[in-house]
């Protein structure tokens, strides 16, 4: 039987004293409580009229004190949701009816990036109520790889996108769209297509790095300036569908089309090391994300479920069984709210293990 959790509002930071995964926090002398079913979502957003493929919480000044959630759907629309009114406040139509696969707000900026299956990555100006595409990058790969952005300021930022070659990644300097480099695997390496990307830069290092999950189930760390792979680790037997990286702990997690949830780390010599593998009951992880406070992580499952884990120990904490079809994406807000988007056209909002 899969682990369940009691109403998470009763266990705000129950990470150390429990020896089980049911949420039954017992101390010596206390009676053992009866396990309770998982909580229901705090609320549900409806109205996309197609599968939800991408989610992103607005963390910048654009929210103006009211939390906003961006969603991208299979019909090519981006909906902007007010979590205060629980209604869509705007709908952006810039991808010609082709599925939106990735969304990202630029830090400290009223600009939104949206990537679609129409081979366009659109830059939207959302300042002062505007909803206009002000620029676009033409992509050369029709794959499902989500892009990644690293912002160094509003005037200059870097963008990693799938390249022209099936196994390539292109790095662009934005907003000039100047090509920084194209990352091509070694001649003897056959990783297949890049499936997910994560640009990052350590605070104490000038080196720009890229983590890429590939079709062959491997995760590679690229030195972007050197245009070379620093290290590669084989984590999965199936294509990597999603990854996230905790730069403070130098530790990452990835999910695949198989049953394995893999944890890996990065040492001081920029070498990736496989740490552990956690087998799930059913195959298929569409997305994985670590909460901003690095306490918990969530996975989006093909089996219609969202699973929540303790990030340090990887102890299962909750199985959220609400959706009636595959869960495609998960996202955390800075205040700890969790959003999950599904093929069933619904977005569930959860309040679990509140930050204190």
Rounded mean pLDDT for each run of 10 residues along the chain, 356 residues in total: 39 37 43 62 96 88 70 97 93 96 91 95 91 93 90 82 93 94 90 95 82 96 94 95 95 96 91 95 97 96 97 96 98 93 98 74
What pTM was computed for the model? Answer: 0.87
pLDDT at 1: 36
Cβ burial, residue 232 (10 Å; 0-12/13-18/19+): buried
pLDDT at 59: 66
pLDDT at 6: 37
pLDDT attached to residue 11 = 39
Spell out the domains of the chain, with CATH numbers in brackets: 50-138 (2.40.10.480)
- CB atoms inside a 10 Å sphere around CB 187: 6
Extended strands (E) in 139-214: 148-151, 157-162, 169-174, 178-183, 194-200, 209-214
- Can you give the pLDDT at residue 194? 96
In this predicted structure, what is the pLDDT of residue 351? Answer: 92
Beta carbons within 10 angstroms of residue 10's beta carbon: 13
In the chain, the largest separation of any two C-alpha atoms, in whole Å, equals 66
Asked whether 171 and 158 are in contact (CB, 8 A), the reply is yes
d(CA 172, CA 309): 34
pLDDT at residue 36, rounded to an integer: 60
């Amino acid at each position: 039987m899969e682990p369940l959790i009691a109403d998470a509002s009763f266990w705000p930071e129950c990470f150390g004293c429990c020896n089980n995964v049911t949420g039954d926090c017992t101390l010596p002398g206390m009676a053992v409580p009866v396990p309770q079913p998982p909580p229901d979502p705090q609320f549900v957003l409806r109205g996309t009229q197609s599968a939800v493929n991408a989610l992103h919480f607005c963390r910048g000044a654009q929210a103006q004190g009211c939390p906003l959630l961006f969603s991208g759907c299979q019909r090519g629309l981006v909906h902007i949701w007010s979590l205060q009114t629980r209604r869509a406040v705007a709908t952006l139509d810039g991808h010609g009816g082709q599925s939106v696969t990735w969304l990202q707000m630029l830090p400290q900026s009223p600009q939104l990036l949206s990537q679609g299956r129409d081979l366009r990555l659109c830059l939207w100006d959302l300042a002062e109520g505007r909803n206009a595409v002000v620029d676009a990058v033409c992509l050369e790969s029709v794959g499902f790889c989500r892009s990644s952005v690293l912002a160094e300021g509003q005037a200059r930022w870097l963008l990693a996108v799938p390249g022209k070659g099936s196994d390539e990644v292109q790095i662009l300097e934005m907003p000039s769209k100047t090509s920084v480099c194209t990352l091509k695997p070694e001649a003897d390496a056959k990783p297949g297509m890049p499936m997910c990307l994560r640009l990052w830069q350590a605070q104490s290092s000038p080196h720009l790095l890229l983590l890429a999950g590939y079709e062959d189930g491997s995760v590679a760390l690229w030195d972007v300036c050197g245009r070379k792979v620093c290290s590669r680790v084989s984590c999965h037997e199936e294509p990597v569908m999603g990854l996230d990286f905790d730069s403070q702990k130098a530790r990452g997690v990835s999910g695949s089309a198989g049953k394995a949830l893999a944890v890996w780390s990065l040492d001081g010599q920029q070498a990736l090391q496989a740490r552990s593998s956690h087998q799930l009951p059913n195959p298929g992880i569409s997305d994985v994300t670590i909460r901003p406070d690095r306490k918990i992580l969530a996975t989006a499952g093909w089996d219609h479920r969202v699973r929540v884990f303790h990030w340090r120990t990887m102890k299962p904490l909750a199985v959220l069984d609400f959706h009636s079809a595959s869960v495609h994406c998960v996202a955390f807000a800075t205040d700890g709210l969790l959003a999950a988007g599904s093929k069933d056209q619904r977005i569930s909002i959860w309040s679990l293990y509140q930050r204190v």
